[in-house]
Structure formats: C-alpha cells, structure tokens
Amino acid sequence: MPPSLNWGLEKSSQTMAISMPKKASSTKISPSLSVGFVLMPSFTLLPFSAFVDALRLAADEGDQSQQINCHWTVMGPNLEPISSSSGVQVKPWETYRDPTEFDYIVVVGGLLQKTLQGSQHVIDYLQQTNRAHVPIIGLCTGSFAMIRAGLMHQRRCCVSWFHYKDLSDHYSDVIPVAEQLFVDDGDRITCAGGAVAADLAGYIIERHLGQSWARKSLRILVMDNPRPANAPQPQPASDYQVNNKWVKRALLILEQNLSRPLSTDEISSRLNISKRQLERLFISETGDSLQKFYRKIRLNYGLWLLQNTPRLITDIAEETGFADTAHFSRAFRAAFDKKPTQCRD
C-alpha cells in the first residue's frame, strides 16, 4: 500500500491494526464533552465504533471529524495494538492520562473470559478513575471489568441477557439488569453492548451538547432518536436451564434460528452428534422432544414480541417461523389458551 494511501492502517503479523489518526492542531480545544476509551483484550468492535462514531458526528457542524464539540482518545499502558474479538487491532493513541481530564472514562469489554482474566493495568486505571470521582461507562462486558475493580458493589449493572447468568451466579453483591438497554447509576453507567452503544452515546451527547446534536449524530448513522435507557433488550427465546453440554449448544442453535426453523437432522449435523442421541438427551433434560421444545421457544418469543413491541402479528408470525398468521394464531392459542390479540393492552 503506498504511503500516501495508508489511511492509518498498519500490518501486523496476524491481523490488520487500525490506528485512528490524532487530530493535528496547534489550537487548544475546550470541548463540551471529553471521553477517554480503554479497551479490554478481545474487546468487541461494534460498541466501540458505534460510540466513537456518534461522538465524531456530533463533534463539528459538517462531517469533518474535527474534535471541536467532542474530544476523544484511546489509551493503553503502552502503544502496542490491542486485538478485538474479531482479530482486528486498534492501536492506542497515547498512554493513560489523568482521568480528571475527561468527563467520562469508557471501558470496552468483549469476550468474557479475556475480560475476567487479563489487563490488571485496566483495573488499576479504573480504580484511579474512581478515586478521582470521574464517571465510568462500561460497554458490553466492560461492566465486568468495573466489577473486578470493586466499583459495582450493591449497584445496578446492565448486562446483555447472554451474560445475565454469568453475572448473577458469580457476583451476588451486584444487582443484574438485563431487561433494559443501559443503566445510568450516577457515576456508573453500564450498557448491554452491541448497537445499544450508539443509543447510550446519543444520551450522553444530549446531556452535554443538547438534543439537536444527538439527533444529528444518530440520523447520520441512519438511526432514529436515541432509544431510552429503559427500552427493552431483545430477550432470549428461552431461559430454560439445562446441564448437558449438547443440549446447551442445541438451544443456542434453536434460539439463533427462530424465523427459519431447522430440522432435527440439520441440528444434529451441526453438532456432529447422532439424531437419535440428541433426541434422547433432549427428552432427558427438558421432558420434551427437540421439535416440541423448539416450538415452545418460538411461541414464547412470539408472546414476548406481542407484549413488548408494536409489531404486526403478521410480522411476528414470520419472525417466529410460522407459515402465516393463521398457523401462528392456532399454535399460540393451543399453547396459551388465548388469542395473540388478547396479549396486548
């Protein structure tokens, strides 16, 4: 790649490292909102990039990426690239700065075991930030880094439904919240992760710059107004607790394929286990055949959509894998002894 076209991309031995260029300016900036990012090993790119881009688009009048209204930086213990969960690397711009120079420190998590095991320097910096009375935001499993730092005792902590059990089983002194998008608990703000990071960024931008800047930013990102903190997370189709590893893996496959139900043959093939063995394990763990339990999951998800969203029943039928509204309605009535329309206020 010619130097003139490098665009901040650096080759590493295994992955491509994305290095965000610093703003070149001799003028001292006094932004209305200043954010320092700290990345955990194997952090997830989406919440990081969603939050950064929302800040970037609120930072100036046009789309010039000038840090005027907002300032942001990426910090680390050194300038070595940090690998994301997808293998893409981000190179810190600078080493850790005095946290009092920022309005918020944002810690971005990702793969849970990496967040729980590594980067003591991040934990130390979060504790320093706490002592300086600077608010901390946890994106994705960044909230677990905050817990490791001892900052969430008796606090409400927003977590993705996917990690709800991880939190509730291992941290009894923390109050898990998985029914909403993010939780603002004063100097601790936690977020379920994913695209919700853009909603949270919009919330922060509105607080510091005003509603018009938040709307401008998210609309350029092709989003409507920020969803509020208490908007519901998309919920898992089933919270059924099972112990067998094959049934656990099968449940994940089922929940990821609600709109196009898979056959038992397809599922057993994906798991590399015989159909007969999988059926036997499913009945032992749940009391139902795989396909009967699959239908329960789909109908429970349909019930949740009816109660928590304004979506048309036709759309819900399609999303839960039924051929048409009539088919969905018959199955729904058989399962819950009521019509889908009766489940709405």
Q: Is residue 233 part of a domain?
A: no
Of 4-8, 76-80, 157-161, which has the strongest mean pLDDT?
A: 76-80
Q: Is residue 232 part of a domain?
A: no
Mean pLDDT of the chain: 87
Q: Is residue 190 part of a domain?
A: yes
Q: Could you tell me the residue range of the domain that residue 207 belongs to?
A: 3-220
Confidence class of residue 106 from pLDDT cuts 50, 70 and 90? very high
Confidence class of residue 14 from pLDDT cuts 50, 70 and 90? very low
Q: Is residue 285 part of a domain?
A: yes
Q: Render the burial of 11-43: b for 16+ CB within 10 Å, e for the rest.
A: eeeeeebbbbeebeeeeeeebbbbbbbbbbbbb
Q: Are residues 8 and 154 in the same domain?
A: yes
Rg (CA), the chain: 23
Q: Is residue 237 part of a domain?
A: no
Q: Are residues 214 and 270 in the same domain?
A: no
Q: Are residues 182 and 67 in the same domain?
A: yes
* Residue 113: pLDDT over 90: no
* Nearest residue to 229 via CA among 159, 175, 181, 163: 181
Q: Is residue 240 part of a domain?
A: no
SS3 state of residue 101: helix
Q: Are residues 21 and 140 in the same domain?
A: yes
pLDDT digits (tens, 9 = 90+) for 269-311: 988 999 999 999 999 999 999 999 999 999 998 998 888 777 8
pLDDT digits (tens, 9 = 90+) for 143-197: 999 999 999 999 999 998 778 778 888 899 999 887 789 999 999 999 999 999 9
Q: Which of 220, 253, 272 is the last residue of a domain?
A: 220
Q: Are residues 40 and 155 in the same domain?
A: yes
According to the model, what pLDDT value does residue 41 have? 94
Q: Are residues 154 and 294 in the same domain?
A: no
Q: Are strands 136-139 and 188-191 parallel, antiparallel or unpaired?
A: parallel
Asked whether 177 and 159 are in contact (CB, 8 A), the reply is yes
Q: How many independent structural domains does the chain possess?
A: 2
Q: Is residue 267 part of a domain?
A: yes
pTM of the model: 0.69
Asked whether 279 and 342 are in contact (CB, 8 A), the reply is no
